[in-house]
Structure 1
Amino acid sequence: MRVRIATRPGSADRPNEDHAVADTGTAVVVDGLTARTETHCVHGVAWFAAQLARDVRDARDVTPRDALRAGIARTAARHAGTCDLEARATPCAAVGVVRVADGVLRYAVLGDVSLVLDGEHVVSDQRVAEAGREERAAAARLPVGSAARATALVEMKRAEIAQRNRPGGYWTAATDPAAADHALTGEVPLRELTRVAILSDGAARAVDPFGLTDWAGVLDLLAADGPDALLARVRAAEHADADARRWPRTKVSDDATAVLCEHLRRNEDEDACASR
């Protein structure tokens, strides 16, 4: 398959906490969860997202779920000696992984990354949206840039953290490899696919909440004009609603990443993934 990738930070003054990588037969998108509170990690969310993406990609010859499990363990080991990995607010991320081998595409999705299969089927775990729902709504009602909104966003994050990686809450990649057991997984014969996309929630805004297109339209745009074109449309919608009134949201502009995997049927008997 051929893989095309685009990623943009939400603003010029903050690092991009999304990261995407691809190589032979594998594509990974990692969407780091914004901290807002002390993480007790000296590296930061952007470092965590980039390292986790590479560690998941580099777990060879295993299923996407096992690659995710191994990646979480490897990334945790990289900063276990310098950071407090027991802290509830330690850096974490949503992750989407696809792997192509033996005529089958296999996937694992942990958190609110969206996997779009030919526009007919979307895989995404939205349980994080239930954590701190009231606090999120309250923050979104406050004026953008105000001190009251900033305070409310911290309260929202604390409510989210309290529900992180526990039964009845939501699951995300942090330090415990067992979180991978809660990933949504599946496999699809390549003969049934032509295009697959992996989107961070910032890129998925094109469909929800902005309604710029539907999932099939996302794939059409990605295939015709490339991932950068999708992100440009999302940015334009964000900038046109800079006070977040038309589409209430806690981040006016979010980190956004889009990955398109295509030519799947044509290369059904090949395991090569040329990335550009």
Structure 2
Amino acid sequence: MPNIRIIDSITDPGSASHPNEDSAGGNASCAFVIDGATGLGGTSIVGLHGSDAAWLARFAQSTFEELVRSGRKVAEVVRELNQRAANVVHEAAHALPIEAWNLPIASFQMVHVEGDRLVTHGLGDCRLFLVDADGKVVETSAIKAAYANERDGARRAIAQSGGFATHQALADEPVVRDELRRRRAAYNQPGGSVWTLGIEPAAADHLASEQLDVALPARGLLCSDGFAALADQYGRYGVSDLVRAAASTGLAPLLQELRHIERVDDPDGQQFPRFKISDDATAVLFEIVA
């Protein structure tokens, strides 16, 4: 049976004025990263420092660490997690109507030992980068083209809003915010293409799962999209180079490099279009051995 060992982890808020809406964790059979989606200007329902996304990220972390064990299907865990979250949200809302775009949601990506198999599961746009003993590279996400779509949307939003000189987060611009609300309201809906952690147990039926046929030992990174930007958006590393750099120097220097790109090299988002100067960034470096 394969064994997962977490070597290093790091998480950092994108702004000192906002709570970190990422989380990460693991146990004897899994490792995972969670990325809560920043609210779009609505009233906080549950709130953690005013952020439902931060609450959900931590709620999901503790629930995964409690429930994900060898022998239990991850889809069942996601269903129970979302039902638990729904109970909390509806109780906190006191039966008041909640706009669909204002519901707490989060992405996640997980590596899980299932008997003698290694499987990755996810919802949303978190990332897995993996290099096995033979040098084979695996990279995946529940939404395959998420980073490219994000970049294209950010480019349009910068043109619409006037960029970071006018708005520290492009979602603060009314027209951009309305479009983002429209898109988010379509999440977790029957017939929709985007499903997440949140309050819809049916998201478990849309879990993206892939068996990892890799030679052991293998090393990998689970990343929120804010950290994966080093490879996906900024092009500083290929997948194998990023994993090797993390294993060689640790995650802290990579985070420093990420923030230097965003705050020194490209603070206006013209070279690398994005919705915020800096997003929350989280990564877990892990090893899988036989």
Matched, 1:70 2:88: no
2:211 to 187, 194, 202: 187
1:94 aligns with 2:107: yes
Q: Structure 1's 30 and 7: CA in aligned 2 closer, same or farther, altered over 3 A? A: same
Q: Which runs of 5+ in 2 are unaligned?
A: none
Question: How far 1:190 sits from its partner (Å)?
Answer: 6.4
TM-score (norm: length of structure 1): 0.86
- Which shifted more, 35-44 or 91-100? 35-44
Equivalent residue number for residue 20 of structure 1: 24
Q: CA deviation at 1:86?
A: 5.3
Shift of residue 139, structure 1, vs aligned partner: 1.6
Q: What residue number does 1:161 align with?
A: 184
Kindly indicate whether residue 68 of structure 2 is the aligned counterpart of residue 56 of structure 1. no
C-alpha distance in 2 between matches for 1:260 and 1:46: 22
**Alignment-derived partner of residue 274 in structure 1:** none
Alignment correspondent of 1:230: 254
| Aligned 1:108-119 pairs, distance under 5 A | 108-118=121-131
What's the C-alpha RMSD, in Å, of the aligned pairs?
Answer: 2.5
Amino acid of the structure 2 residue aligned with 1:143: G
Aligned to 1:247: 272
Corresponding residue to 2:228 among 204, 222, 240 = 204
* Counterpart Cα distance in 1 of 2:257 and 2:217: 26
Shift of 1:70: 2.2
Distance 1:126 1:140, change over 3 A: farther
In the alignment, the residues of structure 1 paired with residue 79 and residue 148 of structure 2 have an alpha-carbon distance, to the nearest angstrom, of: 24
Q: How far off its partner does 1:109 sit?
A: 1.0
Q: How far did residue 129 of structure 1 move?
A: 6.4
Is the CA contact 2:30–2:68 (under 8 Å) kept in the aligned structure 1? no
Q: 1:214 aligns with which of 216, 238, 261?
A: 238
Paired residues in the alignment total 265
SS at match of 2:257: helix
1:37 and 2:41 equivalent? yes
3-state secondary structure, aligned to 2:91: coil
Partner residue in 1 for 2:138: 121
Q: Deviations over 1:16-63 (max 9, x none)?
A: 000111222221211011112315513121111111121122114312
* Residue identity matched to 1:252: I
Aligned-residue offset at 1:106: 2.0
Distance 1:69 1:39 in 2: 26
Deviations 1:95-141 (A, max 9, x none): 11222253332221111001122161211114666989986433222
Structure 1 residues 15 and 253, CA gap change in structure 2 (3 angstroms):
same
Give, in whole Å, the separation in 2 of the partners of 1:160 and 1:215.
30
Q: 1:273 is matched with which residue?
A: none
Q: 1:172-183 alignment to 2 at 5 Å?
A: 172-183=196-207
| Cα pair 1:76 1:85 within 8 Å, conserved | no
Q: CA deviation at 1:77?
A: 2.5
Over the matched positions of the two proteins, sequence identity in percent amounts to 29
Tell whether the 8 Å contact from 1:139 to 1:156 is kept in structure 2 after alignment.
no
Residue identity matched to 1:144: F
Q: Secondary structure at the match of 1:82?
A: helix
Give 1:7's aligned residue.
11
Measured in 2, the distance between the counterparts of 1:114 and 1:146 equals 31
Unpaired segments ≥5 residues, structure 1: 269-276
Does the C-alpha gap of structure 1 residues 165 and 194 become closer, same or farther in structure 2, counting only changes over 3 Å? Answer: same
Separation of aligned partners in 2, 1:217 and 1:102: 30
Q: Could you tell me how far 1:159 is from its partner in structure 2?
A: 2.7
CA displacement, residues 142-188 of structure 1 (integer Å, 9 cap, x when unaligned): 22141595324312321321321232432211101211221210223
Per the alignment, residue 166 of structure 2 pairs with 146
